[in-house]
């Protein structure tokens, strides 16, 4: 089966509802209000003044990842071992259908290692459920958004009860019906909004005039793993351009290799520490399950050096490495939500 190639960024902001859209490729969702952003320089539970979150979108071949799903799934044991060796957790956002089709052992492994799991849609692309060509949550109304949110939660919770605290929708695309559904499901956090225009600090999200009881954890929409070595410049030019611009502004060599990715992420981490701020890294492990000589083994070449550095920063208390749920609990204590 060959995935139909499509850009991750399309022109429609939100075909349904009044607010929302993409946070990627220079797009900004409409109507987002940043309320009570977490103050910079605050002291986190381990005494550090900055926090780093490692988040994964676990999506096999349900989206547009191009690696081997079998290899991706078998990699999770190694990834979790590396996290455990370093004494740090991560947040894994997983496509619900993938849990049904391929789980639950690999998600249980994540939890056993102290990481958090949350849904990344029930289906990754909504047209696979509803037909037609509308892929994104923000293209749909309340009924479809409720199904996407609640079935994603159910796919995990029928295996592991009461573990889901938050949600990341595919493509980070949403509208107010998505947030209504997440709030209705009593979730605590969401992570869709990119750092462009909203900053890196967690905040309480408002959409239009409505303020939600959800902590929004902004994610890296400029330099996340994927464009560094996988994106082709024809369909994903905006990603490649964003990474190039970041490298230029920081005087980092722009090389589309795993090592180039590590250099960029190191810079991200050190900036967060310098600025006493929060930064949320985003990685797609399906793109680390590729077999091309030029990339050698991206798990070894890209992800493990990143995990080792995060472990070191956490041990030396230069940063607090936490899950989305841990950050949310901290935020709620500070802001008294």
User: Which region, judged by CB under 5 A, interacts with Zn ion, from 20-28, 62-70, 100-108, 212-220?
Assistant: 62-70
Site string for Zn ion, 133-172 (x = CB under 5 A): -------------------------------------x--
Residue 136 or 304: the one with the smaller Cβ distance to Zn ion is: 136
Q: Which is nearer to Zn ion, 48 or 228 (CB)?
A: 228
Nearest distance from C-beta of residue 288 to Zn ion, angstroms? 14
By C-beta, is 137 or 299 nearer to Zn ion? 137
| 59 versus 318: smaller Cβ distance to Zn ion | 59
Where helices occur in the chain by DSSP H, the ranges are 69-86, 96-102, 105-112, 127-130, 142-157, 176-184, 225-229, 237-250, 258-274, 298, 304-315, 324-335
CB of 37 or CB of 227, closer to Zn ion: 227
Residue 225 lies near Zn ion (rule: CB under 5 A): no
Neighbour-count burial of 43, counting CB atoms closer than 10 A to its CB (0-12 exposed, 13-18 middle, 19+ buried): exposed
Q: What is the DSSP letter of 287?
A: G
Per residue in 284-295, is it b (16+ CB within 10 Å) or e — as a string?
bbbbbbbeeeeb
- By CB under 5 A, residue 57 contacts Zn ion: yes
Q: C-beta of 238: minimal distance to Zn ion in Å?
A: 16
Contact between 206 and 212 (Cβ < 8 Å):
yes
To Zn ion, the closest distance from the beta carbon of 94 in angstroms equals 10
What mask, x for binding Zn ion by CB under 5 A, covers residues 1 to 40?
----------------------------------------
User: Using the rule CB under 5 A, which residue among 37, 38, 59, 313 binds Zn ion?
Assistant: 59
Q: Which of 37, 60, 63, 172 binds Zn ion (CB under 5 A)?
A: 63
**Longest CA span, the chain:** 52
Residue closer to Zn ion (CB basis): 202 or 285: 285
Measure the CA–CA gap between 22 and 239, rounded to whole angstroms. 13
* CB-based contacts of 61, cutoff 8 Å, min separation 6: 1, 3, 69, 286
Nearer Cβ to Zn ion (63/298): 63
User: Cβ of residue 291: shortest distance to Zn ion, in angstroms?
Assistant: 21
Q: Locate 262 and state its tokens.
A: 């590590």
CB of 213 to Zn ion, least distance (A): 25
Compute the distance between CA of residue 180 and CA of residue 146 in angstroms, rounded to an integer. Answer: 8
Query: Given the structure tokens 């050190």, which residue do they identify?
Result: 270
The minimum distance between CB 286 and Zn ion, in angstroms, equals 9
Angstrom distance (rounded) from CA 103 to CA 298 = 24
Cβ 140 to Zn ion, closest distance in Å?
Answer: 16
Task: Give SS3 for 335.
Answer: helix
Contact residues for Zn ion (CB under 5 A)? 57, 59, 63, 170
């Amino acid at each position: 089966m060959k995935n139909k190639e499509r850009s991750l960024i399309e022109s429609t902001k939100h075909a349904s509802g009044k607010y929302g859209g993409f946070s990627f490729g220079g797009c900004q969702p409409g109507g987002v209000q940043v309320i009570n952003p977490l103050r910079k320089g605050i002291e986190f539970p381990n005494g550090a003044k900055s926090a780093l979150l490692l988040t994964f979108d676990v999506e096999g071949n349900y989206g547009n990842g191009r690696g081997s799903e079998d290899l991706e799934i078998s990699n999770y044991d190694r990834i979790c071992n590396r996290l455990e060796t370093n004494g740090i957790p991560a947040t894994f956002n997983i496509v619900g259908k993938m849990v049904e089709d391929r789980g639950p052992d690999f998600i249980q492994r994540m939890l056993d290692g102290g990481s958090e799991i949350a849904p990344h849609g029930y289906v990754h692309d909504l047209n696979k459920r509803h037909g037609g060509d509308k892929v994104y949550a923000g293209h749909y109304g309340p009924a479809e958004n409720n199904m996407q949110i609640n079935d994603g939660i159910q796919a995990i919770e029928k295996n592991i009860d009461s573990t889901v605290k938050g949600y990341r929708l595919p493509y980070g695309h949403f509208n107010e019906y998505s947030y209504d559904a997440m709030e209705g499901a009593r979730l605590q956090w969401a992570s869709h909004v990119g750092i462009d225009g909203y900053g890196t600090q967690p905040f309480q999200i408002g959409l239009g005039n409505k303020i939600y009881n959800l902590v929004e954890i902004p994610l890296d929409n400029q330099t996340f793993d994927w464009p560094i070595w996988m994106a082709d410049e024809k369909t994903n030019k905006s990603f490649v351009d964003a990474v190039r611009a970041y490298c230029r502004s920081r005087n980092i060599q722009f090389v589309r290799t795993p090592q180039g990715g590590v250099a960029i992420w190191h810079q991200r981490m050190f900036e967060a520490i310098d600025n006493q701020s929060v930064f949320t890294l985003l990685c797609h492990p399906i793109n680390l399950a590729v077999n091309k000589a030029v990339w050698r083994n991206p798990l070894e070449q890209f992800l493990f050096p990143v995990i080792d550095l995060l472990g070191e920063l956490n041990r030396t208390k230069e940063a607090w490495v936490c899950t989305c749920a841990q950050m949310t609990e901290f935020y709620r204590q500070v802001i008294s939500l």
